[in-house]
Chains A and B, each alone.
Chain A
């Protein structure tokens, strides 16, 4: 048997390759089952970069559905709360060029705002409580409501349903604790050629 195989090099090569194929195929099949990844890891990673305001400005009901949509090939510039930083981070992750924020979905705000309920005017209708995506509003029917400041993501979703318009979006107070050093102005170009190139870029 072995002799006859040894005399026919074609057959020997065929057997060797097929048996190798079977062994590695089995190994890969086993590994695919054993180390199976639950869910789509890229969606998880994109979701981690999104700001989790759950505001729906991107047109999706929450950050995760938008992450899923990006993974399926949607544009990455639909998130105004995240702004350019988030776009850059996602672009970096997906290794695509970072576009500017799509103005259609809203503008990036410099200062984070948070909802405040004018408590004297609140009639206790619970509509804002139902609208809040992160359960940051506390209250009960016919009782005054209030926003848990530390949990509010500033998504604006509670403004619309309020029948008495008693919710304001106020900027977060920047105290000494939150303060950090500002970025110094960028260096100036003294070399004539680099000046010219930067002008060309601008034009």
Chain B
């Protein structure tokens, strides 16, 4: 028997697990419509590849992965796609998300699928591809793509495989039921994963000691293998990945780190069964075991539920009494969240639908002032200081929250459970975490905006400089041109222009000799014109009209004036 370690803190809420274990895993009739959310895992959304009106078969892919952190989703039964739109989904926000709605045809007809009879002949990468294509995400609650967890990394060898059979939350018995009834599938799943991980040194099934029947059911299958079953005392929350690793190995996953940093991988019971089905049977992840329990349900039982089944379908088959139900919870009473509608579908991470009666989980009593009793610090399994965190959360002091390791909080709810003032501590932490994440995103956006703003400023300055430089260059060119054409006075005012014109006239006028010769030529021309005019006047007086005579006499007169002027000018020049 292996040694176990004890985690700090923890609480012992009433287990309430026996109600749902009175019967074996049940099956429900296929619902009329199934709503399958397209995004059921952590990672980026995948690309849709069906159209409205298309007939789909059970197990057919509805989306294709476009990125390594994508996972496809599959049709859970055969039928027709009737809509692809935003529908309410199982999310604490109560917001809508893109979903494919399938109207089932009731035939539940499988698409052609083949499994691998001898997986040991396949390489790990081929098996990981099968696991990805089957859309398998961690079914314990987080929905992290399993294939990424199992992918080999160059620098970190995995030597320990931990199977999380803790199921520490009250009411939930899905994994317990799976171990009792599907032990063989589970062991096969473990074998597949061991093959993928190249046979890790240690394979441990960590299980709380409140599941003796499950332990008994598993024993016969592990006798000849190296798989260990390690039971440990029941305490909430032992099922957190990091807590379980500490309990089984005594080693702590570093803050902000992953189990792989210690060379470990931790998988949930449901995930392993899904891996077995994907690899050996060739079936994608289209159903899961979900506990339907609580005082408001007439029947408390585990069901093999198709992904996409509306919660209302589950409840109607369980003699659900709405009047007696204080609230509807998806998940357990400690970490689950309240649903606002019964139309939301079951997804890959839905391990429990809890419909407690009014006496079981009464409505929230108003929170009172913190009395600094310190019970929360005693209960915290991560050894944080919940009351300090609470003060800083109220003061919105993000710096101090981070300094007090808010992000190591696993949101188990033990602190809220023990709080005598009913302060919803976990809510404060969740809200603060969200605000810090948002602030970080805003910071990145702001830096981006600053960079763009500064680049724009730089660009505008450069453009301005270039324009200035061009203007300067143009100015220099014109100045040079002026200098070469001997204009000494650059300027553009009217007086300058006139002066420049006069200057031009002066330059045009050559030496006095030239002017004199020019004047003499003009005199000769004027004299010849006068003779012409006189000749025309004589002709007009002899045989012309009165009007012609006056015109000709006028021209003679002007010609004579011109001759006089020129003669005067010539005289001036000769003087």
Contact = CB atoms under 8 A, between A and B. Distances in A.
A89 to B, nearest CB: 9
A176 B394 contact: no
A187 B370 contact: yes
A198 to B, nearest CB: 11
A43 interface: no
B263 interface: no
Majority SS at the chain A contact face: loop
Interface stretch (B18-26, B86-94, B273-281, B289-297): B86-94
Contact of A187 (B421, B448, B450, B455): B421
Nearest to B429: A181
A183 B453 contact: no
Contacts of B93: 176, 179
Contacts of B457: 62
A90 to B, nearest CB: 14
Interface in B399-434: 421, 423-424, 427-428, 430-431, 433-434
Contact of A52 (B434, B438, B447): B447
Contact of A135 (B89, B438, B456): B456
Interface string B364-377: 00111110000000
A85 B435 CA distance: 12
B43 to A, nearest CB: 11
Nearest to B97: A176
Interface string B84-106: 00000101110101000000000
Contact of B430 (A47, A180, A186): A180
Contact of A134 (B95, B97, B456): B456
A176 B91 contact: yes
Contact of B431 (A64, A175, A181, A191): A181
A161 to B, nearest CB: 16
B234 to A, nearest CB: 29
Nearest to B395: A88
Interface in B151-176: none
Contacts of A47: 450
Interface in B58-94: 89, 91-93
Nearest to B438: A180
Contact of A180 (B435, B448, B456): B435
A191 B456 CA distance: 58
Interface in B423-468: 423-424, 427-428, 430-431, 433-435, 437-438, 442, 445-450, 452-453, 455-457
A191 B430 contact: no
Contacts of A188: 366-369
A190 B91 CA distance: 34
B449 A153 contact: yes
Contacts of A191: 369
A137 B276 CA distance: 52
Given A62-B453, A134-B456, A188-B368, A183 B428 contact: yes
Interface residues of A, number: 35
Interface residues of B, number: 37
Interface string A165-197: 000000000111011111111111111001000
Interface centre among B367, B424, B431, B450 (most CB of A within 10 A): B450
Contacts of A185: 367
Given A51-B446, A62-B453, A187 B368 contact: yes
B369 A189 contact: yes
Given A52-B449, A187-B423, A180 B369 contact: no
A181 B442 CA distance: 17
A36 B572 CA distance: 85
A29 to B, nearest CB: 34
A85 B448 CA distance: 20
B427 A184 contact: yes
A63 interface: yes
Interface string A118-154: 0000000000000001111000000000000001010
A176 B99 CA distance: 13
5 contacts: A50-B446, A52-B449, A62-B457, A178-B438, A182-B431
Interface of A: 47, 50-54, 62-64, 85, 88, 133-136, 151, 153, 174-176, 178-191, 194
Given A180-B431, A187-B423, 10 more contacts: A52-B447, A52-B449, A52-B453, A136-B452, A151-B448, A176-B97, A181-B92, A181-B434, A184-B427, A184-B428
